[in-house]
Structure 1
Amino acid sequence: MRLITFKAPSGTGNGVHVGAVDSTGTTAVSFTRASAQDPRFASMLALVRAGGGVLDEAQSILDSHPADAAYDLAEVTLLAPLPDPPRFRDCSLFIEHLAPAFLGMARNLAATAADPEAEYARLVATGDFDLPAVFSERVIYYNADHLSVSGPGAEIVAPPDTTHVDYELELAAILGHTATDVPVTEAAEAIFGYTIFNDWSCRDLQTEVMASRLGPARGKDFDGANAFGPWIVTADEIGDPYHLKMTARVNGETWSDGSSASMHHRFEDAIAYLSHGRTIYAGEILGSGTVLSGSPIEIGRRLKDGDEVELEIEGIGVLRNRLRLAH
C-alpha cells in the first residue's frame, strides 16, 4: 500500500486523515473516516504502532470503502506521511557521496580567497576534508530534528542566516517494531515501509560548524528542513529496496542520477547497530544518507530562489518542493 496523511478539501470532512492511495492512483481513501474514528487510524504513528493485522484491515477498507471516505487525490493536501516521528536518525549508509561532498565544502570555503585554487589546494592538503575510515567501518549517524518535518508540495523557506541551500536525495525507512538487540538477519522484519527523504542543508552554515567535529548541527537545523513523502510504501510492496533508481530534477532538468544499489551499509546493518544494547521504537525514521551525485555540492551546481526540486525513487514516487531563499 501507499499510505498517506492528508487534509481533505474544504467542506468535505475537514481535518487530518490517514489513508492510502487506491490502485488507480487517483483516489485518496480515508481510513480515519471509514473506520468511524478507530484510534488505530487516528494518525500514521498510531497505525504504525498498532502492529498485528492492522495492515490487513487497512487493505480491506481500501478495497471496499464507503463513498464518503474517498477523495480526489488531486484535490487533497498531502502532508508528510509520518508528521510526528518519535525519533529520526540520518545514517551514512551511502559513503561514496561523502568524499566529493567534503571536497565541495573545501572549494566553497576557498571561493572568497584572493587565489581560490591555491587556497583550495592548501585546505585539501590539511587532510581536514579527507573521508575518515570510520564511515566504511561502521554505521555513522546523527540525531536529526524530528520536529522540523515538511511534506510534499511544502515550500522550503531557508533561514535568514544562509545563502547556500542544497537538496540531498535519500531513501528513508520507517521502523515498525519496538525492540532491543535485533540481529541483522532479522532486521528486515523491523522495517514497516519506505519513503523519500530530502535532507535540505545550509552548506555555508554546515561548513562552518563542522570544524567543531560535532556534526552538521545548524547546517541542517531549520523549520521544515526534513522533507518526506509523498507517501509511505509498505515494505511488502517495495520488494528489494537495494535496486531502486534514484533521481533528482531541478526545474525539470536532471541533476542527480543514482541507485540504492550503491549503499555501502544497509538498513539492516543500521537497525542491528542502533538496537545493540539499546531500544529502537516503532515509528522511528532512519535516513539512508545521500546517494552518489545526490546533492549539488558534489557536482558543482547551486540552487537559487524559486527552484523546484523533484526527488524520485523507483517504486515510491516523486517528492516535490520549492525552495525560497531570503538572499
Structure 2
Amino acid sequence: MRFAAWTEHDTTRVGLLDGETLYALPPGTGLVDLLADAPTSLEVAAAQARAGGDTRSLPDVALTAPLRPPAVRDFIAFEQHIEGMALGRGPDATGDPGLYEIPVFYFSNPNGVVGPHDDVPVPPGCELFDFELEVAAVIGRAGRDLTPEQAREHIAGYLVFNDWSARDTQLAEMALGFGPVKGKDSATTLGPWLVTADELEPHRRDDRFDLRMTVSVNDVEIGSDTLANMAWRFEDLVAYASRGAWVRPGDVLGSGTCGNGCLMELWNRRGSRNDPPPLAIGDVVEMAVQGIGTIRNRVVAGADLRPIPPARRASDVRAGSSAG
C-alpha cells in the first residue's frame, strides 16, 4: 500500500494511492493518526478510503510531505559515505572504528520537513549548500528496548529522505566538537509517499533491500548506490533508537547518506569544493529510489543573513567591574 498527502483548499488531505488514483480519507485525518497499530491500522484505513469513493487523480494534486513526524533521527549507515567524508580530514584519513560498533545518529528538525516537490530556500549565509540521498523508515507502533527482530515489526513503511545540508555551517560547528546541528536545521524533504513495508519485501537480498538509489542535479546524474550497501539494517537502527527510549508512531529514521549520495563526499574524493559545484539558486535536485518513488525540489533564494554579535566573555565583565 501507498499513502500520500496533498494540499486542497489550504488543508492537508491524506489518502490511499493506487496507480494514479488517490482514495481520500475524511478531512482532518493525518497519516500519523493511522500508524498507531500498523500494519493493521493502515489496512483498515485503506479499506475505508476505497469504500468512501472520494477520489482524486494524482497528476491533479499538489503533494505535500506524507506526514509531520514527531521526531526525526538521521543515522550514518553506508561505509562508502563514511570513508568519503573522512577524507575531508586528509588523504589518508579513515572512518572511526566506533562507527561499526553503534549506529550513531543525530536529531534533525521535524519543523523543517518539506514536501516532495516544494521549493527549498538556501539557508541564510550558506555558500556550500548540499543534498543527501537517503531512505527513511517510519515507525508504525510504539516500542521501547526492542531487539532488532522485534523492531522490524514496528516499521510501518519507507520513503525517500533528502537531508539538505549547509556544509559551511556544519563544518564550523563540528570543529567545535558538536555534531551536525544548525547545518541540518533548514529543510528535510520526505516523500513522495509512504510505501508500506510489505511492498519492499520482494526486494530483500541477504537481509537488506536491494533498491537502486540515484540523485541528479538539473537532470544530470551525480551519484548512485543501492540500499543493500547499508552496513546496518533498518531494524538495527530502530532497535538502537529504542534503547532506553520510546520510538513512537510517525517517528522517522533516516538511513544516512548512501555512497556518492552528496556533493561533500565527492568534493573530498576529488579534492575540490567546486567539482561538482555547490547547489545554486535555480538548481533542481531529483532523487529516485526503486520501489519507493521520486522527489524533485528546486533551490530558491533564502532570507538574508542577520548577524549575531559575539558572545560576552566573563573576563570582559570582570574587567569592566574592576574599571568601575
TM-score by length of 2: 0.84
Structure 2 Cα separation of the partners of residues 238 and 161 of structure 1: 40
2:272 aligns to what? none
Report 1:76-87 matches (<5 A).
Answer: 76-82=61-67, 84-87=68-71
Out of 26, 49, 53, the residue aligned to residue 40 of structure 2 is: 53
1:17 aligns to what? 13
Matching residue's letter, 2:260 = S
Gaps of 5+ in 2: 268-275, 305-324
1:185 aligns to what? 149
Structure 1 Cα separation of the partners of residues 21 and 6 of structure 2: 12
- Deviation sequence 1:163-183 (CA, Å, 0-9, x none): 111110000000111111111
What is the deviation of 1:305?
A: 1.6
Structure 1 Cα separation of the partners of residues 74 and 152 of structure 2: 18
Q: What SS does structure 1 have at the residue aligned with 2:110? A: coil
What is the deviation of 1:311?
A: 0.5
What is the deviation of 1:64?
A: 4.0
1:214 aligns to what? 178
1:112 aligns to what? none
- Deviation sequence 1:112-154 (CA, Å, 0-9, x none): xxxxxxxxxxx628x8x64211112211100111111101111
Structure 2 Cα separation of the partners of residues 52 and 140 of structure 1: 27
Over aligned residues, Cα RMSD in angstroms?
A: 1.9
What is the deviation of 1:161?
A: 1.3
Identity of aligned residues (%): 35
- Deviation sequence 1:245-283 (CA, Å, 0-9, x none): 101111111111100111001111112222222221121
Structure 2 Cα separation of the partners of residues 147 and 60 of structure 1: 31
1:242 aligns to what? 209
Structure 2 Cα separation of the partners of residues 124 and 52 of structure 1: 47
Gaps of 5+ in 1: 107-122
Mean Cα deviation higher: 170-179 or 240-249 = 240-249
Out of 191, 203, 214, the residue aligned to residue 229 of structure 1 is: 191
Out of 26, 34, 44, the residue aligned to residue 32 of structure 1 is: 26
Seen in structure 2, the aligned counterparts of structure 1 residues 208 and 19 have a Cα distance that, compared at 3 Å, is same
Out of 124, 131, 144, the residue aligned to residue 90 of structure 2 is: 124
On the 8 A contact 2:37/2:141 being kept in 1, the answer is no
What is the deviation of 1:160?
A: 1.9
TM-score by length of 1: 0.83
- Deviation sequence 1:39-64 (CA, Å, 0-9, x none): xxx11111112547322222323544
- Deviation sequence 1:45-93 (CA, Å, 0-9, x none): 1111254732222232354442xx11121121111001x2111100112
Structure 2 Cα separation of the partners of residues 204 and 279 of structure 1: 33
Give the number of aligned pairs.
289
Report 1:242-281 matches (<5 A).
Answer: 242-281=209-248
Q: What SS does structure 2 have at the residue aligned with 1:19? A: strand
On the 8 A contact 1:93/1:267 being kept in 2, the answer is no
On the 8 A contact 2:122/2:281 being kept in 1, the answer is no
Structure 2 Cα separation of the partners of residues 232 and 93 of structure 1: 21
Report 1:107-122 matches (<5 A).
Answer: none
Structure 1 Cα separation of the partners of residues 299 and 248 of structure 2: 32
Structure 2 Cα separation of the partners of residues 53 and 269 of structure 1: 23
What is the deviation of 1:226?
A: 0.8
